Amino acid sequence: MNFCPRCGNMVARVPVYSQPSAPPVYHAPAAEKNRTKKNNKTAIIATFTVIILVAVALAIPTVDLVQDDPKKEVVIQTASADTYFALSGDFIPDREIFTVSLTESGMAFSLNDEISEKYDYYSWSFFDYDHSWSNQAPPYSKYTGETKEKTEPVLYYLSQKIGEYRVSVKCYVESGDKYVLSATYGGDVGYMGTISKEYTWTYQGKQYTATTSFTYDEYRAFKEKNPNSRWLRSYEYQKVVSFVTYEEPAVVSLAESLAKAYGPSSSMMDQSFATFVLGFVQVCFDYPPHTFSVEADQYLYGQGDYFAYPLQTLFHGMGDCEDTSILVAALFKALGYSAGVVIIPGHAVAAVGLDEYEPGSYSITSYDILKHTIGGVDYYACETTSGKFLGIGLISAAGSGGRSYSEYIGQNGYKFYIV
């Protein structure tokens, strides 16, 4: 059982295509040519021909034939002053099949005139490589892309979102009252550049803003890092600190932006500023949508348990307990605090070291204070998935299995892991 508080808020879905759907059309399979029956003599000749060809083939040294892999060749094309397209497959300009361009509202993927004039109807497929693993509507079935059927040889994407996309189109010709599949084209389009993030939230009655940015290549490096070992067994929990990449420029930039927003007193490295940083993550980062059958990590990353790097959480704007705890720990560490991640039964929280601590008023029936001293430093738990402001040190009094979380520290890998 996952004991994380879950808000269940849905992520607003951005419409993908601007063109209206064409009326439903029956797509007939490609017409087969009439075949006449072969007589026995013809069959015998064909058989001997095959045998001879096989024999000749066996006598010739084998040559590796390179398949048309869209990722084998990439051509760079300038998109704007600070962005570019990385094109592959049938988007490579020399093939003279596709063009991609920026529009006021997004991007346009078009078949060249020489190609499109041959066909009458198109079935476009669009796949976002950075989409969450699941579709953005219950019951959160696996995302397989989008399709759009239309009579125009162009597909519009209503966004200029930095990312990587797979675009393909099935081309049909009109035959009587049917459309018959005639050709298929496809390739990858990477719209590369800098991803800028701006966060606005209210804290103690005052509105604050913080910013950061990172390149798509920086994000992708963490997305592709150790993809097959993103969940940790109990005897591997100490590896969680390797995910707290507090020296990454985007993390440092965000930490500096938070310090600037808070004001001069942030340099004191006290509990008040740490609470401000914690509150920023609590409010500005959503818990991924989920159901009883699809957990938060599975919705976002396709795995039941997945530890994300801070840049991945920044990119998606959401994360479950270990993801946002890793992000907060990285921000604390970048700001000069002693910090870490706490693994407890069914949950994870961040930790921050403080010289002085004041719990403030809280309900003892609802919350406990989770604290641990390591190397003479007092570390306090930081709940990141409350969906509202919750002070440092406070954690649900419900605990696990009728026991408070503090009773588990030091057992079965449940402990404070300090960066």
pLDDT of residue 267: 66
SS3 per-residue string spanning 139-176? CCCECCCEEEEECCCEEEECCCCCEEEEEEEEEEEEEC
Separation of alpha carbons 87 and 77, rounded Å: 7
Given a contact cutoff of 8 angstroms between Cβ atoms, the answer to whether 406 and 398 are in contact is no
Instruction: For 23-53, give one letter per residue: b (16+ CB within 10 A) or e.
Output: eebeeeeeeeeeeeeeeeeeeeeeeeeeeee
Given a contact cutoff of 8 angstroms between Cβ atoms, the answer to whether 178 and 26 are in contact is yes
Calculate ∠ Cα 99-102-107, nearest 5°.
80
pLDDT of residue 54: 37
Separation of alpha carbons 177 and 158, rounded Å: 33
Separation of alpha carbons 16 and 294, rounded Å: 24
Q: Which residues contact 331 (CB under 8 A, 6 or more apart)?
A: 246, 251, 254, 255, 258, 277, 281
Secondary structure E strands in 297-390: 339-344, 347-353, 367-369, 371-374, 377-382
Separation of alpha carbons 231 and 216, rounded Å: 24
pLDDT of residue 387: 79
Q: What is the pLDDT along the chain (419 residues), one digit of tens a residue?
A: 333 433 333 333 333 333 333 434 443 333 332 333 334 434 444 444 434 333 333 333 333 323 345 446 999 999 999 999 999 999 999 999 999 999 998 999 999 999 999 999 999 999 999 999 999 888 899 999 999 999 999 999 999 999 999 999 999 999 999 999 999 999 999 999 999 999 999 999 999 999 999 999 999 999 999 988 899 999 999 999 999 999 999 999 999 999 999 998 776 679 999 999 999 999 999 999 999 889 999 999 999 899 999 999 999 999 999 999 999 999 999 999 999 999 999 999 999 999 999 998 899 889 999 999 999 999 999 999 987 899 999 999 999 988 999 999 999 999 999 99
Q: What is the dihedral of CA 73, 188, 159, 157, to 10 degrees?
A: 130
pLDDT of residue 187: 97
Query: Taking Cα atoms as reference points, which of 315, 240, 330 lies closest to residue 278?
Result: 330
Given a contact cutoff of 8 angstroms between Cβ atoms, the answer to whether 369 and 377 are in contact is no
pLDDT of residue 35: 31
pLDDT of residue 268: 65
pLDDT of residue 68: 46
pLDDT of residue 27: 39
